[in-house]
Every structure is written in C-alpha cells, then in structure tokens.
Amino acid sequence: MSTPPPTTLKHIAAHLDLSVAAVSMALRDHASLPATTIARVKRAALKLNYTPNSAGSALAAHRQQLRVRRDFSVIALVSHWPTRDDWLQRPSAQRLLAGATARARAYGYELQHFWAREDGMTPARFSRVLTSRGIRGLILAPLEHPNNRLDLDWEKFSTVTIERPARYAHFHHVVPNYSADLRLAWARLREHGYRRIGLVIDAGLAERVAHQWEAAYAFEQSRGPSAAASIPTLVVSAANPSATIGTWLRQHKPDAVISRCNDVLAAAATLKLRVPRDLGYVGLNVLDDAPGVSGILQHRDVMGAAAVDALHGLLHRNHRGPHAVARGTQIDGSWHEGRTVRKLGRKAGV
C-alpha cells in the first residue's frame, strides 16, 4: 500500500479558502492576523495531520531572519533617567552597552541609544518618534527607581528589559542572578576563613532586586554557626549612612562585610578599621564599586548580548507587547579576588 502524500500548506489553504501566505502566517502566530483566523488554521492543520517540513522550516526561518534584519535594522536601547548620561556613565552600563552592541552587529542590527526624555518628550511622543523611524525592537535600560513609569505604546514594540522593572515585569527581562551571587560571596569568604559575615545594602537597591540578597543571606546564616547568625542585615536609608553603618559595625563587630552600599568603606575608615587587615570587604557589583574591591563580577557584557538574543527572537516571531506569563534570563556572576579580603589562616566551619 502506498503512503499518502504529506499535507502541505497548499492543502490547508485550499481547505479553508485562504492564501498559502495567510496559512503560513497563522501557523507562526503573526500579529497582523485575527486570533480567530489563527485558531481556525491551527484546527485545520491538526485535523489534516499537517507536519512542518524541517528543511523547509529552516529555509523559511533563514529568509525571515534576513527580512527581520532588513526591515528592523535599528534596535533602540532606551534610558529614562533625569539626564542623557545618568545611566550610561556607570561602568556596568558601559560594559552592558559594549556586549549588546557586539551581539547586535553579529545579527546585522545597529544598536542606538535613545534618551526617552530628550527635549522634554512625553512617552506618547517618544513612541511616535520610534515608530516613525521604523524601530520595532527596544531594550529598556534599568529605570532610575524600580517603580518608575514609562508608558510607551508597548503593543507596537518587541521589548526586552535589563533588570526587572516592577511595572513592566511581563517583558522578557535579563537580570543578574542575585541570589547565586550572594551565596558565592558568602562561600568565598568562608573559604578565606571569615566567620562573622555581615550584609549592608542600600534601601533602594534592596527594593530594586526584590530583596533577593537579603533572602540568600538569611538562608546562609541559617546553615552556619550561631555567631554568624547573630549579625542582622543592615538596610541603609538614613540621611547620614556613614554614621548608621559605623554604629552597626561597632555593635556587631563583623570580620567581613558583604555590601551593595557605597558608604561602607568610608564608615570603616572613620572607625580606623583597615581593609582588609581589620575588616574584609566584598562588593556585590565590583564594576560600580571602589577600585580593587573583592567580590562579584556581574557579567554585564553577557547580559547585553543575552538581551539582544532574546529581542532577536521576539522580532523573528513578530511578538510585540508583554508576555502573558513573566519570563526572563538570569546571568550568574563570578568571583573577583581583588584586594579587600585576605586569608585568615583558619578553616571556616560549615
């Protein structure tokens, strides 16, 4: 018995009295088609036992990829800080921009920075400027405050965010693995012989990372000796942070501090504590900390590249607006030895 020929797009098109192009677009969830048409095509494809041809799909994907790059050749990296360079002047931002630019070029895109407040622009006008330039792909830089708003016409854009803004969590977000980074810092300090490890976090940054550093610190404390567990996290929001940190240092006498607060080293200096002789210091983002700091190297260049990878996929699938379910990519940091910790010559406990 001969095997019946496989169902093709032409068969489905004839069955539904649609064009082959319309059937192909419906099977790829093209945004230009009504949801009812997409559902009808998919039901017919299932009924007729349609199976995509792998070679044909690969060729179509390649052609679509070329078309995406030709039609949407510019990716906008959008910042929304008080001035154009507020975010870009940070070393971590520069590293991210370099990684994103290199990956965009590999795909055939040009990455351009756009400041959303240029000439006092409103979000509505900024959306029109982007669409008038044919830009459909956006990478949203971290907002100045995690709860800030930037209400663009999101349904017109494929969007990926750096970090996870509270109001726009349903865009694909690329973030550092905050929990894993804290646990890595803790483990390295224990290996160096430190036992009384404290955590100092700026209140705004604690909110920005959804308190993941604090949660990971509490978990590590729960696994260690009681001496480590006796040091509470210090979340700094006072008008005089150095004095607040100084009081905490005098009261709890840590032998090392894990920090994401720019005032810890100054507070230690005021108390005549020498780093690392008297106090070990670990930064959770050494790129934006003092020179020579030991701690976590956040791979912001990899984050930039991952953002472009995710955005390229969205453009390829013609997905615009937020996802129905929040999703994202986490990038683990690495340990950077630096000069602010030392070997204490004793073995850390479990």
Contacts 24+ apart (CB under 8 A), 323-327: 323/170, 323/171, 323/172, 324/170, 325/170, 326/169, 326/170, 326/173, 327/172, 327/173
The fold adopted by the segment(s) 178-298 is Rossmann fold (3.40.50)
Q: What is the Cβ-side half-sphere exposure of residue 269, based on CA atoms within 13 angstroms?
A: 6
- Total count of residues recorded for the chain: 350
**Number of other CB atoms surrounding residue 127 within 10 Å:** 19
Q: What is the Cβ-side half-sphere exposure of residue 3, based on CA atoms within 13 angstroms?
A: 3
Provide the residue-wise pLDDT of the chain in tens; the chain has 350 residues: 556 678 888 888 888 888 888 888 788 777 667 878 888 988 888 888 887 764 454 445 445 544 444 445 899 999 999 999 999 999 999 999 999 999 999 999 999 999 999 989 999 999 999 999 999 999 999 999 989 999 999 999 999 999 999 999 999 999 999 999 999 999 999 999 999 999 999 999 999 999 999 999 999 999 876 655 579 999 999 788 999 999 999 999 999 999 999 999 999 999 999 999 999 999 999 999 999 999 999 999 999 999 999 999 999 889 999 999 999 999 999 999 999 999 997 554 44
Q: How far apart are CA 125 and CA 113, in angstroms?
A: 17
**Where exactly does CATH 3.40.50.2300 map onto the chain?**
71-176+301-332, 178-298
Hey, what are 235's tokens?
């979340």
The structure's pTM equals 0.79
Alpha carbon 298 to its chain centroid, in Å, reads 11
Kindly report the CATH number that applies to the domain delimited by 71-176+301-332.
Answer: 3.40.50.2300
